[in-house]
């Protein structure tokens, strides 16, 4: 199994509410529409146990393979042109 | 559900084989013996899509609550004294 772990840092002008709404309404359905993506979850960072906070959210994607995922992303970019 | 996402950077003198052996033989069974821990997985970092590589492994723990987990860790420290 391959996972992608992504750190998301919000831009100062974006609130958590706005980001979560965008995630629910757009990002989640787009990403999970990729055939290579088995699951996608967004975790809110509420606590940092060591070091400095470097992310507002951590995304975890389970994917079939990196090659398949990158191909899906390329297709998406192409279709959105 | 609460998750802990941990970055592990190996010391230069430790090989991946040694770390994985230690993880399998000691760390995994210790951590999953904590009542607060539902699951613990170790992911090897094989690719960095953006930025620099900052970890050799990423651990993902599913825990009941941070409070319960910290209590389990304190108990472990006490018992190991």
**pLDDT tens, position by position, A5-63:** 999 999 999 999 999 999 999 999 999 999 999 999 999 999 998 888 889 999 999 99
CA–CA gap between residue B54 and residue A54 (Å, rounded): 12
DSSP label of B51: S
The nearest CA of chain B is from the CA of A18 a distance in Å of 22
The nearest CA of chain B is from the CA of A13 a distance in Å of 23
Residue A81 has pLDDT above 80, yes or no: no
CA–CA gap between residue B38 and residue B30 (Å, rounded): 13
Q: Single out the residue of B52, B32, B49, B53 nearest to residue B41, CA to CA.
A: B32
pLDDT number for residue B81: 55
DSSP label of A39: E
pLDDT number for residue A33: 95
Selecting from A4, A58, A66 the residue whose C-beta is nearest the C-beta of B5 gives A58
Q: Single out the residue of B12, B14, B3 nearest to residue B58, CA to CA.
A: B3
pLDDT number for residue B77: 78
Contacts of B60 in chain A (CB under 8 A): 5, 60
Q: Euclidean distance between the first and final Cα of chain B, in Å?
A: 31
| Token representation of residue A25 | 């309404």
**pLDDT tens, position by position, B38-78:** 999 999 999 998 888 889 999 999 999 999 999 999 988 77
Instruction: At B77, give phi and psi (nearest 5°).
Output: -60, -45
Q: Tell me which residues of chain A have a C-beta less than 8 Å from any C-beta of chain B.
A: 3-5, 43, 47, 49, 58, 60, 66
Query: What value of ipTM does the predicted structure carry?
Result: 0.82
CA–CA gap between residue B15 and residue B9 (Å, rounded): 11
CATH classification of B2-79, choosing from 3.40.50.970, 3.40.50.450, 3.30.70.100, 3.40.50.620? 3.30.70.100
Q: How confident is the model at residue A77 (pLDDT cuts 50, 70, 90)?
A: confident
Selecting from A3, A4, A47 the residue whose C-beta is nearest the C-beta of B66 gives A47
CA–CA gap between residue A79 and residue A42 (Å, rounded): 25
pLDDT number for residue B55: 94
């Amino acid at each position: 199994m391959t996972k992608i772990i992504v750190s998301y840092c919000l831009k100062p002008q974006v609130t958590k509410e706005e980001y979560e709404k965008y995630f629910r309404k757009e990002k989640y359905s787009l990403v999970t529409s990729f055939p290579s993506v088995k699951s996608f979850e967004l975790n809110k960072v509420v606590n940092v146990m060591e070091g400095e906070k470097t992310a507002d959210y951590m995304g975890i994607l389970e994917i079939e393979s990196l090659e398949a995922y990158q191909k899906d992303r390329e297709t998406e970019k192409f279709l959105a042109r």
